[in-house]
Amino acid sequence: MFIRTEGFKDFFRLYPLVSIIVSFQIGIAVIGWIIPPLGDLIMFYGAGHHFFIEQGEYWRFLTPIFLHSPHNVGHILFNSFALILFAPPLEQMLGKLKFLFVYLSTGVLANILTFFVEPTPYYSHVGASGAIFGILGLYFFMVFFEKRLISQSDAKLILIITIISLVMTFLRPNINILGHLFGLIAGFALGPILLQSAKPFNPSQTPRRRTSNDGVNFDPNRWQKKRYRYRHWMKPIVIGIFILLVLIGILSNFL
């Protein structure tokens, strides 16, 4: 479920919403690095700054989901990796509209609850972490109450990643702890509503059927076969990359 074997074009074709979200947030980050004044302007009008929210700028509950700290490369890398890893199965299982609803609603709700629980006027935050924790929360519900939708190995991976993410939430500096926790809770709460009609992830839908000009046929399920061959060593690699990106995020705060 979480092993990405699709090619670049296939990924965009099969998971268009995930592709657009990742491309959009990376694009904004790159603009901020290349043109710092424009990046500063985007951050000024888009960050979840509680002082401006109190003045009626309620779009700031939504816009921080797509913004990341320009001084922390690990921030955008970590969140983009998490989206590419965990979001595609949900886009297929729920459908595009429901997936978009989960992503935006959990992120916005996490920011709204953070605003009310942390009333400090000068508190400010950016990042997709609330929405990503919403995705993890939905998987968390799946692990315990919709086991038909997830294999035991994938369930173990979700539990490990969620625990690591929660621990890192309290260890890393400059983290919106409330946003992470509220996002996780919001995703879990949406489970009973959205997962009843969800279909199990079907990896056989991922390959693109191709036939060469000379008539030689390609096996459309070749990637599915490779998936099972690499299953045993891919899980530790995924966890290792996840931890590495967390460490990069931590170290970048001190560089």
C-alpha span between 117 and 238 (Å, rounded): 34
Catalytic residue among 180, 197, 232, 252: 180
Measured at the alpha carbon of residue 4, what is the angle toward residues 147 and 25, in degrees to the nearest 5?
A: 100
| Separation CA 130–CA 135 (nearest Å) | 9
CA distances from 211 to 24, 42, 218 (A): 33, 46, 6
| Catalytic residue from among 19, 129, 153, 232 | 129
Asked whether the beta carbons of 172 and 194 are under 8 A apart, the reply is no
Integer CA distances (angstroms), 215 to 208, 210, 211, in order: 16, 10, 7
Q: Reply yes or no on whether 129 is catalytic.
A: yes
CA distances from 174 to 45, 50, 123, 124, 244 (A): 20, 16, 11, 10, 18
- Contacts for 69 with CB less than 8 Å, ≥ 6 apart: 75, 76, 126, 127, 174
3-state secondary structure of 220: coil
Residue 71 annotated in active site = no
Q: How far apart are CA 120 and CA 206, in angstroms?
A: 46
Active site residues: 129, 180
